[in-house]
Amino acid sequence: MTGPRDLPAPQSVLVYVGLDLVGDGLMKLPFVRALRNACPDARIVWLAGKGHSTYGGVLAPLVDGLIDEVVDAAGVGQGWDELLRPPLAGTALAGQRFDLVVDTQRRVKTTLLLRRIPHRLFVSGAADYWLSDRRPPRGHRRPAAMIRQMLDLLEIATGGPANPTVTRAIDPAAAALAATLLCDGKSLVGLAPGAGGRHKCWPLDRFLELGQRVADRGRTPVFLLGPGEEEWGDTVRTALPHALLPLQDPRAGQLAGSPLLTIAVAGRLDAAVANDSGGGHMLAAADIPLLSLFGPTPPAKFAPFVSRGAIVRAQDFGGTEMDAIPVDAVDAALETLLTAA
């Protein structure tokens, strides 16, 4: 690393993002946990400069104790007219100085505007780190995955390895409901057959066959169907009468469509299988053993971040479409994860 050394631990940290949709927030959770682990006593402020952050909304319970303040839709880092007024003017942060500012985006114009925020250390990947007070060593290659890029920034800022294994936060109300919806004393395996696009979905009949194999080994398959897969509910119930569908349970009530319930349910599973999808990232937020299935999308960029996981790719079986993946391969990889767990 290059840049100033031997600085005391930061007591105030500002993290800049453009905005965070729910999917973005789920993917960034390991960074948030690692940041709190690296700066346990710091005041951490999350600044969404160009839109809304889900950390100030639906995912707020997941960052309770990790982020101290979320400044939403701040209008910071957008236009050159900001040069005509003090940094952070018009926000609750006006006039404040931060020990560490982490710029998570790479648009040079935005970075130049953010550098005006009073700081002791500014870290950014824009312009190949040339606008950053600290830079990686020569020859450093930026990781393909967004979360790895963010963890890189944290390691550059702190000079040490990022550790995202902070105790995970699960919304208490969702956790209590998940305990009601799932049976105790059973080995539970999650199956999430949906995705944002059907081209990213492993065929439902193969998920059903996998669920039958799970049941045959004495475990309970737990199907996690999002709003876009509601129509599959009857098919799953007919094929696997003993499977659980907690998100379709009438007792789920208003939490049925909430990612908080999916994450809480995931926290009670021994392992899970998911496509490249938002559901997969919700499962990853619980940091359980996770098997991810990929075909037309690259796992190097989109694979969920978990402590223990595995990937099965269609390309390993001569194709790029999801139906190239055989049930036997997924079953074997899942059993390996379960055995290791």
Rounded to a whole number of angstroms, the distance between the first and last alpha carbons of the chain is 36
The strand pair at 309-313 and 290-294 is best described as parallel
Task: Give the C-alpha separation, 332 to 310, whole Å.
Answer: 11
Torsion of CA 153, 159, 164, 166, to 10 degrees: -130
Task: Please check whether residue 1 is in contact with residue 32, taking contact to mean a CB–CB distance below 8 angstroms.
Answer: no
Task: Please check whether residue 141 is in contact with residue 125, taking contact to mean a CB–CB distance below 8 angstroms.
Answer: no
Task: Give the C-alpha separation, 50 to 68, whole Å.
Answer: 20
Give whole-number Cα distances, 24 to 2, 217, 321, in Å.
30, 36, 25
What is the pTM (predicted TM-score) of this model? Answer: 0.87
Q: Which class for 294: exposed (0-12), middle (13-18), buried (19 or more C-beta within 10 A)?
A: buried
**For residue 335, what pLDDT is reported?**
97
- Return the H-helix or E-strand segment holding 122: strand 119-124
Query: How many other β-carbons are positioned within 10 Å of the β-carbon of residue 89?
Result: 13
Three-state DSSP state, 315: helix
**For residue 321, what pLDDT is reported?**
96
**For residue 126, what pLDDT is reported?**
96
Handedness of CA 287, 288, 294, 300 (dihedral sign): positive
DSSP labels for 164-200? Answer: --PPPP--HHHHHHHHHHS-TTS-EEEEE---SSGGG
**For residue 339, what pLDDT is reported?**
93
- Residues of the chain falling short of pLDDT 70: 1-7, 166-169
Cα Rg, the chain, nearest whole Å: 22
Location of structure tokens 């631990």: 9
Strand partners, 192: 274
